[in-house]
Chains A and B, each alone.
Chain A
Amino acid sequence: MICDGELRELHPAAPFTIIVKRYNAQQISCLRFSACRKQKQIGVLFVGDHQYVLEMKNIVKHFPGVKALKGVDFSVTPGEVHALIGENGAGKSTLMKCLIGIHAPTSGDIFYKGQMVTGKNTSEMLKIGVSMIHQELNPVRTRSIMENIWLGREPLNALGLVNHKKMYDMTKDVLKVIDLTIDPKTEMSKLSVAKMQMIEIAKAVSYNADLIIMDEPTSAITDREVNQLFTVIRKLRSEGRSIIYISHKLDEIFEITDRVTVMRDGDLIGTVATKDLKVEVMINMMVGRDVDDLFPKIECPIGEVVLEVNHLASGKFFQDVSFTARAGEILGVAGLVGAGRTEIIETIFGIRRKDAGEILINGKKVNIRSSQEAIKHGMALLTEDRRETGIFPMLSVSFNTMIANIETYVNKIHLLNKKAINEDCKNYAKAIQIKTPSLSQRVENLSGGNQQKVLIARWLLTSPQILFLDEPTRGIDVGAKSEIHKIITNLAGEGKTIIMISSEMPEVMGMSDRIMVVHDGRITGILDNNKELTQEKLMAYVANAV
């Protein structure tokens, strides 16, 4: 038996790991047996003849008018959690899509375990063990967990029909690997987003994936569920699998990853061991400049009450909601996912049925039953999910920007003043620094952060008095996040009223003048954001543990 004898400390749980480069089946079972006998103090990693599980060489990817990747060299070693970070538009998603076969690279080669796999499609990559868990999950919601996991490769019986019993047992085995005890027959629609993500990981495990790409795995799950996820990741790593971890959450990167690769504008800037990396250096690499304060909140005078909500209620989503908001104020809205925050602002904005309560704007009672009326009263709504309810994907940046303000562009004969539209779109795109090759570019080709900026421009064009922002920086990198925060605080400085829903504690605490906490459809507190309010105290309110 040739044991290349490289002893490495890969992980605290497996203090001594033998990297075995060449082996056969019998040698494998012997080695596993003796590892067991030493009571798992020895980990064994079978990597074959290669140092890297993944090598991407000089990857170039062009889209019409956009150079998304400019020659990227990226590699991953076996048994590591490798972070891939960068601003939106840096090219991370594009690189990964080239890897798993959604895109074909314009040039360059990809090697998986030494084998050339450039140009293979997604199902081929899955079969050889490369799996991706996307940011936006797309399970078949009306089918069960086991049907989702084994979709397309269901175990068959002798008659060629699906063997449901076998599928059930196989699913239970796979779920056990990630310590999940859910009935495989459960319908996907009944699961929380976090559990759906776990099922995606189980699916990857069922493909015996040795390389799993996780795109923003924690963007829609709570802190407790994040810990569960990390436990699973550590277990996968100890088995010799590798994980490419794409995230904007810098604290998670420091907690779970081994190495960090930074991308910017289609280039790979550098790869550093996590323990050698400092936050400022990381941000500097990502952004190409120093970003001083992540959440710049400027002091500004707070004026009269602009919005007054009394005893608002809608269906089973929320009851007895009352609050006020003033000019120049940022009212943060904190709470758990599903508490009813989005539903509250949708009702005020007129796109959700109001069952009870009254709304006053500048002291006058208003009855808003549609978004047109809301806009006429000076309200704006930046929705939570820009893909679902925000952007018009195949339409241009200028269309997406002007559409909410279209009523003001009609001339006397009811035709559109295209010159005025172009002027406005150009000016606002410049003011908010929207990165796009041209205003006629399809918005779906823009990065997430730039799409969000287009939506902000859309609402700014309507000169609103009250802005409802629902998770305005979700899925957006540090650089763009900071820019959007600057825009928001500047708007407050201009005397506008901002009501901002956010699930990120630092964001809520950094930006808000007051924080309204919603729990289970009710307001459990409206807190002044002064020195007495700590993150722990706020979290207690959010979890309704006060």
Chain B
Amino acid sequence: MNSIMKKFRDAENAGVSDFIKKYGIVFVLLFMIVGISIASPTFLTSTNIFNVFTQTAITGIMALGMTFVIISKGIDLSVGSVLAFAGVVAASLGQVATATSKFYPNMAQLPTIVPILAAMIVGTLCGVISGWLIAKTHIPAFISTLGMMTIARGLTLIYTQGKPVSNLQPGITMLGGKVFNVIPVPVLIYAVAIIISWILLNNTRFGKHVYAIGANSKAAEVSGINVGRNIIAIYAYCGLFAGIAAIVFAGRVGSVHPGAAVGYELTAIASTTIGGTSHSGGIGTIWGAVVGALILSVLANALTLLGVDAYWQQVFVGLIIVGAVVLDMRKNTSKK
């Protein structure tokens, strides 16, 4: 409570305009919700609201990891491909014993923990490799993760020979279902991911290291921070969350195909950018990443409810992303 009061006091000192600048996206989201509820009464039903949250979960989880990366002044273009790779590996280890086309025909049904761990390990490993390249060779994050994006997608296709991996065990499909027939499990997983990320970013040394590296990596090096090791950890975290998103994906869809999650990285980047994470480094929040993700899925949901062409949705999302980055630049660079 004290920190909220402090924020209000700081806001008073800084002026109302800065308050709006900082929390403006919340108002945008509320405004959208109000507007859509008026235009389409089916929006504010509990089914639809849970739908929105469920649909946010996969890219929302990816956006949380992406927030760490972008705060550190980096970028991770590979998360979509990593999700697919981690997803197919997990799915291949998570099929029911009685599946018609088994990936590993002679393998018994493994405990659910195995595919879950597999997805997390694959995701983390991909992140470690991307991060290691950036830290050791100093190639731009854009290039390193672009490489991982194409390589991981290629490995996914090789692994599956281009075919989807289906017939997943109930342990996995349950993760895409509901608890007590009301609360969707993906939402629970998303909530846990949010809490963990929030604690990590705000209350640990690692979180402060992320901000420091993004704000001024040379100053971070002088101040006792092992920049290389932290960079590897940051991209590993992003990859891990891509792996967790893969599990949710497998649970929701019931299978994983090698073309899964194409373009999801853009949604993840857009979510955290709309939420106020700055690409010039040092600035970003977890709550911002969540609000940004919600803005995008509320928009998609609204456009669907209003019967807008799916292709137009893409145009709208693109416009919002550009608008968000323009606002970000004006807020965080020049002072006029």
Contacts and interface: CB of A to CB of B under 8 A. Distances in A.
Interface in A420-477: 437-438, 440, 458
B188 to A, nearest CB: 23
B199 interface: yes
Interface stretch (B152-160, B200-208, B267-275, B319-327): B200-208
A152 to B, nearest CB: 19
A392 B212 contact: yes
Contacts of B218: 388-389
Identify the interface centre among B13, B215, B226: most chain A CB within 10 Å of its CB. Answer: B215
Identify the interface centre among A63, A371, A393: most chain B CB within 10 Å of its CB. Answer: A371
A406 B220 CA distance: 12
Given A389-B219, A416-B203, A103 B336 contact: yes
B283 A394 contact: yes
B332 A394 contact: yes
Contacts of A540: none
A351 B282 contact: no
Contacts of A523: none
Contact of A392 (B216, B224, B278, B335): B216
Contact of A437 (B13, B199, B211, B212): B13
Interface string A57-79: 00000011100000000000000
Contacts of A374: 224
Contacts of A104: 336
B222 interface: yes
B201 to A, nearest CB: 11
Contacts of A375: 224
A38 to B, nearest CB: 50
B223 interface: yes
B211 A399 contact: yes
A381 interface: yes
Interface in A468-511: none
Interface residues of A, number: 36
B105 interface: no
Nearest to B218: A389
Contacts of A399: 208, 211-212
B208 A394 contact: no
Nearest to A370: B226
B271 to A, nearest CB: 21
B222 A403 contact: no
B219 A392 contact: yes
B219 A406 contact: no
Identify the interface centre among B18, B199, B222, B283: most chain A CB within 10 Å of its CB. Answer: B222
Interface string A378-409: 00010100001111111100010001101100
B15 interface: yes
Given A63-B335, A416-B205, A416-B208, A395 B215 contact: yes
Contacts of B18: 64
A371 B230 CA distance: 14
B332 to A, nearest CB: 7
Please provide the 8 A-B residue pairs with the shortest distance between their CB atoms, ordered closest to farther. A392-B215, A404-B223, A389-B218, A64-B14, A375-B224, A415-B203, A394-B282, A372-B224
10 contacts: A351-B221, A372-B224, A394-B283, A404-B224, A407-B224, A416-B203, A416-B204, A416-B205, A418-B203, A458-B223
Given A392-B220, A406-B205, A414-B204, 5 more contacts: A65-B15, A349-B222, A371-B223, A371-B225, A416-B205
